[in-house]
Structure 1
Amino acid sequence: MHKDNAFTAALSLILSGDAALGEIVRLSLAVTLTALLVSAIVGLPLGAALALARFPGRSFLVVAFNALMGLPPVVAGLMVYLMLSRSGPLGWIGILFTPSAMIVAQSLLITPIIVSLTRQVVEDLWSEYEEQLRSLGSTRLQAIPTLLWDGRFSLITTILAGFGRASAEVGAILIIGGNIAGYTRTMTTAIALETSKGDLALALGLGIILLTITLLLNAVAYATGRIAQKVAG
């Protein structure tokens, strides 16, 4: 298919509400948002605790989480695959090649990002408000809810960074999900598959939607940063 025709066909698929395209987008968002929710629930308090608590091995954990921010997706996928395969320790759960397994893999990728960025935000806030909080009788760990709330605008950007990481991921999803049509096929895996098949219309349609989501996320992150500056000012 000619590139111009493919682009026109892609726009037609989007505007007509193509069922196959819509199902892929729906599954992608469902998996990514669920993984993001899990990672936020775990990562925000863990990152805050890591910022304020003092215990043996803390420095090692800080370095480890920072390193895991760059964890290659295929390595994450392989780790989850070995855990969830029939011969693995969690094989009895039976969720390999399902959306649930994809959520696990994406959570593994997102959580270190949220933990590390949250730790930095909370550390900076503690340095700024330590004397005030201590004068109110607050200990380091008791200050966690206050600092998380005060840093909410910066933390929204942190969460959006996690979403961006997950939404653009291909390798782990291919290994864990199997790219099964109508069941585990996401935008990124579908783009890779349809491009290799020569179906540029669907690949371009999904690419346009993914790019639009990315642009919206950056717009939200920018607006959040501006609001945070005005509040701080």
Structure 2
Amino acid sequence: MVSLSSLTIACFIGIPLGTVLAIKRFYFRKTLLAIINSLMGLPPVLVGLIVYLYLSRSGPLGWLGILYSPTAMIIAQVILIAPIITALSNQIIEELHEDYRDLFLSLNAKPMQAVIAYIYDSRYSLLTVILAGFGRAISEVGAVIIVGGNIDHLTRVMTTAIALETSKGNLTLALGLGIILLTISLCISLLAMWIKSFSKRYAHA
């Protein structure tokens, strides 16, 4: 649920933001895109440390009392996933914008209408972007251990359980959890590919 919640929030932030950056031209646009692209490679441990410092009792958001909770884990994962979703969405929409720009200008479409139209028209390609974000979320260890604490029945997820069991020497259990995690990821990828293929056939039927 942590990974799914993080992915959902990151998509609601990243896809519209990437679309706006693709179709709008303003002074700091290239600088902003460069920052977002550089954030794609954020070290998870660094993100975890920064979120920890903000959410700890001595931090500016310590009064929220959400450190070592699923909420803190979601915040850390959103920070990691959102730049990936934004940058990849921007690349897809920017290519589409080259083809549709004159059409939207002739129709005098409002910016929000253009954003919705671009997202809808590129929905199949954006599915691949979502999968990339899901891959980052489901494989995350460093940040979620720091801000979640790997507490049993509360903040322990499959990746942190694998790390814990490996450190304890329970390699068989760790390997089993790894296979389960890989199977889940593979099944979701295959399902997304099937939905993409089926939707394209249905659209051209």
Please report the TM-score for the alignment, with normalisation by the length of structure 1. Answer: 0.81
Deviations 1:14-64 (A, max 9, x none): xxxxxxxxxxxxxxxx00000111111111111111111111211111001
1:130 aligns with 2:134: no
Q: What's the counterpart of residue 143 of structure 2?
A: 172
Cα distance in 1 for partners of 2:114, 2:79 equals 27
Q: Which has the higher contact order (CA 8 A, sep 6+)?
A: 1
1:65 pairs, out of 32, 36, 41, with 36
- After TM superposition, the structure 1 = structure 2 runs for residues 94-105 of structure 1, keeping only pairs within 5 Å, are 94-105=65-76
**Which structure has the greater CA radius of gyration?**
1
Find the aligned partners of 1:72 and 1:33 in 2 and give their Cα distance: 21
Which residue in 2 is equivalent to 1:151? 122
Please report the RMSD computed on the Cα atoms of aligned residues, expressed in angstroms.
1.9
**Distance (Å, rounded) in 2 between the aligned partners of 1:183 and 1:55:** 44
Q: Is the 8 A contact 1:82 1:88 kept in 2?
A: yes
Q: 2:10 aligns with which of 20, 23, 39?
A: 39
Preserved contact between residue 157 and residue 224 of structure 1 (Cα < 8 Å): no
- Where 2:26 maps in the other structure, the secondary structure is coil
Tell me the CA shift for residue 225 of structure 1: 5.7
The equivalent of 1:75 in structure 2 is 46
C-alpha distance 201-170 of structure 1, shift in aligned 2 (>3 A) = same
Number of equivalent positions: 204
**Secondary structure, counterpart of 1:86 in structure 2:** coil
State the identity as a percent. 54
Letter in 2 for 1:117: L
Counterpart CA distance in 2 for 1:200 and 1:167 is: 20
- Asked if the contact 1:53/1:141 (under 8 Å) is kept, the reply is no
- Whether the 8 Å contact between 2:11 and 2:85 is mirrored in structure 1 is yes
Is 1:161 paired with 2:96? no
SS of the residue 1:185 aligns to:
coil
- Taking the aligned partners of 1:132 and 1:140, their CA distance within structure 2 comes to 13
Counterpart position of 2:187:
216
| 1:143-178 Cα distance to aligned partner (Å, 9 max, x none) | 110000000011111111101101001100111111
Could you tell me which runs of 5 or more consecutive residues in structure 1 were left unpaired when the two chains were aligned. 1-29
CA distance in 1, matches of 2:41, 2:160: 20
Counterpart for residue 77 of structure 2: 106
Asked if structure 2 preserves the Cα contact closer than 8 Å seen for 1:154 and 1:228, the reply is: no
CA distance in 2, matches of 1:228, 1:73: 35
Q: For 2:95 and 2:195, locate their aligned partners in 1 and report how far apart those are by CA, in whole Å.
A: 18
Distance 2:110 2:101 in 1: 9
Partner SS state of residue 151, structure 2: coil
When structure 1 is superposed on structure 2, of 98-107 and 139-148 the one drifting more is 139-148
Structure 1 partner of 2:166: 195
Deviation by residue 1:82-129 (Cα, 9 ceiling, x = unmatched): 111111111110100111100000000000011111111111111111
* 1:199 Cα deviation after fit: 1.8
| Residue aligned with 2:6, SS | helix
